[in-house]
Structures are given as C-alpha cells and as structure tokens.
Structure 1
Amino acid sequence: MANRRRILIVGASRGLGLGLAKEYLARGWDVVATARNETGEAALAVLAGETSGTLSVERLDISRPDQVAALHARLADGRLDVLFVNAGIAGDPDEPVEAVATDEFQRVMTTNALAPLRLVASFWTLVKDKGTIAVMSSDMASISGNHGGGWEVYRASKAALNQLMRSFTTRHAADGRTYLLMSPGWVRTDMGGGDAPLDVATSVRGIADTIAQREGSGGLHFVNCLNKPIRW
C-alpha cells in the first residue's frame, strides 16, 4: 500500500530490538529487521504472518563494512521513514577501565560507537527528508549523570556514540531529518537483569511513541522512552 510506513531496525533479533520489531509490526508498519546470524533470523521469522505489518529479514553484522555496503545496495531503491540502530554490546560491567584488555576495549567501542555512526553515514540519505534517525543510547551515556560509576567501558562507548552523533548532525545542520539518541530506560533484558523496573513491551512502546511525537522536529535530541530530555 502506498501509505504504509517503513522502518529499518538494525539489531532486531532479541531483547529491545526484537521488541521494537514486534511493536512496529503491530502498528501496521513495514519492518526491515537485521540479525547477525541464523539464530537471530529464526527468532525474527516467527513474527511473520502474526501482525498487520510486513516483515523482511536481512543478515547484517554492523561491524562489517562490507555487509553494511551490501545491505545498502539491497535497500537503495526504497525509502525509510525511520532508521533505528539498536546494535550494541555491554562488556563486563564490573571491570575498571585500567584492567580491560585492549582488544576488548576496541571491540566495545567499535560495536557501540564507530559501527553505528558508519551505518548512519551510509544510510541517512535513504531516510525521507522529514524522517527520523534514532540510535540506541543509554542513561549511562550522560557524563553529568554519572554518580554511581561502574559499567566503565560501556558508559564510555555510549558517551562516544553521543558525541559522534553530535558531530555528524552538526555537519548536517541544514538537514530536515530528526535525530534521536534514545535511552530505553532500565529494562528487563539480558543486560538489564531481572530487577529492572521496565519490561521490554513497555520500553519499546514508549520508544515508538517518542519517535512519533518527535517526528518532524529536526535536530538532535537525547531523550528517554518517556520523551524526557536527558542531561549530556
């Protein structure tokens, strides 16, 4: 249908990414969802035919530039209302930065900061002129909000992500698109643990509502799933 809306969700095979795919399908959107491997593809495949939206599944490791380029080529003939980059890893939350192996530091930084911005830079022209580009950030990216410590490399990677998005959007200041650094809140996922106050369905519903409420506003916004600004 000509009026159907389309979203690309990068990193959609489990947790919040899978929840986002379910939420947008339930809202009647056409969803392009990526997974890194066959297990992830199988998790997404069970959604097909269960909702009013349509789902297509693509294989993508966000850290592989060749795979990013190949996906761009496959999707280049279409346009996106929303691009949502969800891919990310946590690392060891209890390990202080001075104890982290260099290759592990590089892995977390590449996956959480460098790779998402490379993907945004590659795909942003596929997003409609008044469309939205959202990247999954975290409350822990807030430097002014860091009072408890812990999660040192993860915090640093998400703060780097925010800073790189700020630089990207500054270079595209005349762009009519809306850019969101999105915190999902503390959610009961593999990373968030069982004590988190939010379930996945509540978080992703808030994320989708926030994207809808911010649509067309332009510029860069660091917000949570209740559409509340977060201090940088």
Structure 2
Amino acid sequence: MHVVITGANRGIGRALSQRYSDRGEAVTGTSRDDSAQLRLDVTDPVQQAAMAERLKDQPIDLLICNAGVYLDKGHTINDYPADMWAQSFATNVTGVFLTIQALLPNLRASGGKVAILSSQMASHTRAPGGSYIYRASKAAVLNLGRNLATDLKQDGIAVGIYHPGWVQTDMGGVAADIHVDQAVSGLMDRFDDLSLSTSGCFETYDGQPHAY
C-alpha cells in the first residue's frame, strides 16, 4: 500500500509516517522544508504540480491530508488581522483541495481513500467562543470533504473526515488529553475501516460519529 501524508515532519503526521513505515507500507511524506521525502507547501500550486509530476504513474492507496495551521491560538477578538484569515484558509482548506486535485489521477488508479484531518472545533454544535479562524477553517474543510465524498464516489474513492482528539503535540500543547501514539493508533483503525459505504463520515479517532 502506498500512503501519502502531508505535514509529515512533525506531530501526528510524523507519527503516522513512522507507524505506516513500521507496518511495511510505502510512505511518501511531505513538508514545507526538506525534512520529509517531498518538499510541499500545500498552498503553492507550482509545488503541487511538481509533486504530481514526481508521483506520476504511482497509484496512491491512501492520501492523508494532515498539514494544517492554528495561527489564531490565544488571540482575542481585537487581534485578528485579515492576512491571518487568508493564510489559515489557504493552508487548512485550499491546500487540502489542491492536494487532492493534484493527486486525483493517482487515487483513481487504485480506487484509493482520502482522509482529511479536521477537528471537533469544526462542529457547529460546539461553540464555546474564540479561535474563530481555526474553527471556521476546520468547518470549511469538513464541508469540503463531505462534498468531495459525493463527487468522488463515482471514481471509487472514499473520503473520510476525522477529529484526531486533543493531542499532545506542538499544536495541542502539553495539557492535551491524549498522547500522539493513542491518536495515531485510533486514526489508523479509522482509515482502515473507511470504505465507499462510510464515505463522507465525520468521526473521532476512537470511532465515534461526531456531530456536525
């Protein structure tokens, strides 16, 4: 199985990359620097095209759209510059779409799967306030994933959207609920279970349906 993981240089992405490699899968990881197999800024169409050319004729069984940013963490309502919105949506939403678009021929070749890491903060049923940009971008990518699930079903491609848990990473912080290994174990089980019959799901790392 060939697995492609964006944002594979740290946190959940790096742990997923290691675990799939340990399982004997072929893994292609991307990062914005040179710390993974492929250099990819997901917001850059030129780099997306270069990645597509590099992986041309290589079927992809699982694409994990993990790369993301949380630029407004800790910000107050008076401290939300416009470019923070633009940068966040460029990575968390547009970057996911551009990656799937670029690798669609590879996914079609294998009837592959797409896993999008969103967040419980995408849910409109959870509205404790704050983190407006991050919440909005994760809600947008949830919507994107569910609509892609509809359109890509005809190609035999399943799409799932997942909340990885509140994880002890650089983004989640040391006070988070679970260790990265626990999140990754759960996510890998979810990705294994993803099929056309469950395409469009929004689930937690431990297999619970999440409210939209």
Alignment TM-score > 0.5, same fold: yes
Alignment of 1:90 onto 2:70: yes
* Higher fraction of strand: 1
1:124: Cα distance to partner? Answer: 2.3
**Residue matched to 2:48:** 68
**Residue matched to 2:14:** 18
Alignment of 1:207 onto 2:203: no
Whether the aligned pair in 2 keeps the contact of 1:178 and 1:215 (CA below 8 Å) is yes
Q: Of 112, 117, 139, which residue of structure 2 is paired with 1:131?
A: 112
Q: 1:216 to 1:28 in 2, by over 3 A?
A: farther
1:96: Cα distance to partner? Answer: 4.2
Q: 1:201 to 1:131 in 2, by over 3 A?
A: same
Per-residue CA shift, 1:202-231, capped at 9, x if unaligned? 111111111112245352111111121111
Q: Of 5, 22, 38, which residue of structure 2 is paired with 1:58?
A: 38
Which amino acid is 1:88 matched to? Answer: G
Alpha-carbon distance in 1 for matches of 2:190, 2:152:
22
Superposed, 1:79-228 pairs within 5 Å as 79-96=59-76, 99-127=79-107, 128-146=109-127, 148-217=128-197, 219-228=199-208
Alpha-carbon distance in 1 for matches of 2:50, 2:111:
25
Per-residue CA shift, 1:10-60, capped at 9, x if unaligned? 11000010010011111110101112113x34xxxxxxxxxxxxxxx1111
Per-residue CA shift, 1:135-188, capped at 9, x if unaligned? 111011111122x22211100010011112223333334232210111110100
Whether the aligned pair in 2 keeps the contact of 1:187 and 1:196 (CA below 8 Å) is yes
Per-residue CA shift, 1:38-83, capped at 9, x if unaligned? 3x34xxxxxxxxxxxxxxx111111111000110011111101101
Q: Secondary structure at the match of 2:42?
A: coil
Alpha-carbon distance in 2 for matches of 1:215, 1:165:
14
Q: CA RMSD in A?
A: 1.6
**Residue matched to 2:26:** 30
Alpha-carbon distance in 2 for matches of 1:169, 1:29:
25
Q: Secondary structure at the match of 2:161?
A: strand
Q: Secondary structure at the match of 1:80?
A: coil
Q: Secondary structure at the match of 1:219?
A: coil
Q: TM-score, normalised by structure 1?
A: 0.85
Identity, in percent, stands at 33
Whether the aligned pair in 1 keeps the contact of 2:68 and 2:91 (CA below 8 Å) is yes
Q: 1:173 to 1:209 in 2, by over 3 A?
A: closer
Q: 1:171 to 1:177 in 2, by over 3 A?
A: closer
Alpha-carbon distance in 2 for matches of 1:96, 1:69:
37
Q: Secondary structure at the match of 2:181?
A: helix
Instruction: Specify every segment of 5 or more residues in structure 1 that has no aligned partner in the other structure, as ranges.
Output: 42-56
Which amino acid is 1:142 matched to? Answer: S
- Of 148-157 and 218-227, the range deviating more from structure 2: 218-227
Q: 1:179 to 1:65 in 2, by over 3 A?
A: same
